[in-house]
Chains A and B, each alone.
Chain A
Amino acid sequence: MTIQRRGFLAAIGGGATAALAGCTALSSDGGEEAGPEIEGETLTLTTTTSTYDTGLLDELNAPFQDRYGVTVDAVAQGTGAALETARNGDSDVVMVHARSLEDEFMENGYGVNRRDLMFNDFVLVGSPDDPAGIEGSDEATTAVSAIAESESAFVSRGDNSGTHTKELAIWDAAGLGPEDFGEWYTEAGQGMGEVLVQADQQGAYTLADRGTYLSMRDELGLEILVQGPIEGGPELLMNPYGIVAVNPAVHDHVNYDLAMAYIGYVTGPEGQEIIENYTSNGEQLFFPEALSENPNFRQYVPEEWEWSDSDDE
């Protein structure tokens, strides 16, 4: 009996050791060569599903990782969730597209050094038979009013993302709010891709960022019914992306240096050129806007920010 027992204990001990060894081997991943101090560090970027699902981030991050010998951990969430993760100090830099939420993030002291990064636009998409007859509407507001009036199916992101924020702003501009939404209006609570798939299957309308729509167009039967400003549509459908570093004074463990290096890279000539040249199905998805000879001070501060206001706070 005793020998067998020892064997049993050895087996347990061996298992535990193996498990622990696995853990330690894992945490020492990368950075085995002695290089600059920054080498082997990890930058955690929380971002939106649109930058991730279009494949832009892979393209954008690879040269940065090569140049600095670091790893960029890109976590694709909605804009709301990406900012919340950063609020908790779980990411170093945020790339999102809802100016009102970014402003709130900065006003609360969590974000510093915001830059305009790039833009594309939103489009209203739906099935080609277009039951509400919104095709070619000049204004997004008249289009959504027509959808509400005809009670045609509409799928909302419903996830506090940048696209969801924009969608609610459009309803609001049309004088409509959640109290006007009937059974025709459903909240998916999911990412852009999932919502496009749902809208496609239900023959419903939805608001999509052009990038995700274009990258998925082949899988969908949806068509653009109302264009965004890139194709001459209403300015309301503009979709600007910003990038913000997490404030190291609030979360002292964040990798602020690397976050700033990353912001420098994506807003610099190399990053902007990659954004400019990134295409899917032969179409440009994002338009860089960080490089400008003329100063653009508004990108650094909340949009409505005034000198006089700051005294009261």
Chain B
Amino acid sequence: MPLEPALLPIADVPFEWTYVRSIIEVSLYVSLVAVALSTLFSLPVALLVGFKEFPGKGVLTSLINTGMGFPSVVVGLLVLFAVSNQGPLGELNLVFTREAMIMSQFVLATPVITGVSLAAVDAVEENVRDAAFAMGGTRFDVALVTIKEARYGIATAVLAGFGRAISEVGSVLIVGGNIVGPEGHSKTRTLTTAIQLEARQGRFETALLLGAVLVALVLLVNAIVLRYGNGNDGGRYR
């Protein structure tokens, strides 16, 4: 694909480094914050549900698992209704902002992180928890022991949630608006919405290039998390 700035005034823009860097930053910022908040919410829920036996636990678990497949466009629409100036959160002026994108990705990532963590917590043997209790641990200590035992499962949960968040395009497009500010600085354009824009304009090469960047990014985050998980094997809570 020849790039002659004089002849192709738009085609050369996506290759500008500030542009690419800023959409990578927005992608990472939105997805990492969403996943961090989601983890803070999901982990206690997973521990609570995992520890307790109560009627309707099965139903709740299947509800959470169903949430993993919730269509992102629908989530985007619901968040848009909430943050729109006509909606309940209209006063906050969140429409077409990164905060709104974080909200929708939070909604998307939470069932994934909760569901997979729950499975991991459930898989921790009962006697491990009993032993922790027997050693005089409080409920909180037991929770920490369980987290430690289930850490690979939880890391997988967080990574799955991150994968769901950073790769989805439907909701961030609706609530974010795919906006780029002056001088090619992304405001709410992520890698996925940028790919969609390139594809819309028939520039499949640049779309694929951005796709490769996205895959590389996900790979990098996976590598960091798994490496951190292994490095932690010395036992912080041991």
Contacts and interface: CB of A to CB of B under 8 A. Distances in A.
Contacts of A73: 96, 177, 179, 181, 187
Contact of B98 (A19, A26, A253): A26
Nearest to A282: B7
Given A53-B200, A89-B86, A75 B98 contact: no
Interface string A24-63: 0011000000000000000010000100011100110110
B85 A89 contact: yes
B170 interface: no
Contact of B182 (A4, A65, A193, A253): A65
B93 interface: yes
Interface stretch (B33-41, B59-67, B70-78, B208-216): B33-41
A190 B200 contact: yes
Contacts of A190: 200
Contacts of B37: 19
Contacts of B40: 12, 15-16
A258 B39 CA distance: 41
Interface string B155-191: 0000000000000000000000111011000010000
Contact of A90 (B13, B85, B141, B182): B85
A53 B200 CA distance: 9
B10 interface: yes
Given A1-B137, A44-B96, A193 B201 contact: yes
Nearest to A59: B9
B29 interface: yes
Contacts of A194: 199-200
Contact of A196 (B93, B181, B202, B236): B202
A84 to B, nearest CB: 10
Contacts of A65: 182
Interface string B21-53: 000000001000100110010000000000000
Contacts of B8: 218, 281
B150 to A, nearest CB: 15
A251 B85 contact: yes
Contacts of B199: 194, 197
B194 interface: no
B54 interface: no
Contacts of B236: 4, 7
B144 interface: yes
Contact of B84 (A8, A12, A53, A89): A89
Contact of A76 (B9, B84, B178): B178
B179 A74 contact: yes
B122 interface: no
Interface string B70-102: 000000000000001110001001011011000
B177 A1 contact: no
Nearest to A251: B85
Nearest to A87: B86
Contact of B10 (A44, A55, A191): A55
A230 interface: no
A73 B34 CA distance: 23
B43 to A, nearest CB: 9
A142 interface: no
Nearest to B137: A1
B140 interface: yes
12 contacts: A4-B144, A7-B236, A15-B36, A19-B33, A53-B10, A53-B197, A62-B182, A73-B179, A75-B178, A76-B178, A190-B200, A193-B200
Interface of A: 1, 4-5, 7-8, 12, 15-16, 19, 22-23, 26-27, 44, 49, 53-55, 58-59, 61-62, 65, 71, 73-76, 88-90, 190-191, 193-194, 196-197, 200, 215-216, 218-220, 251, 253, 280-282
Report, nearest first, the 8 A-B pairs whose CB atoms are least far apart. A89-B85, A219-B202, A75-B177, A55-B10, A193-B200, A193-B201, A90-B95, A73-B179
Interface of B: 7-10, 13, 29, 33, 36-37, 40, 84-86, 90, 93, 95-96, 98-99, 137, 140-141, 144, 177-179, 181-182, 187, 197, 199-203, 236-237
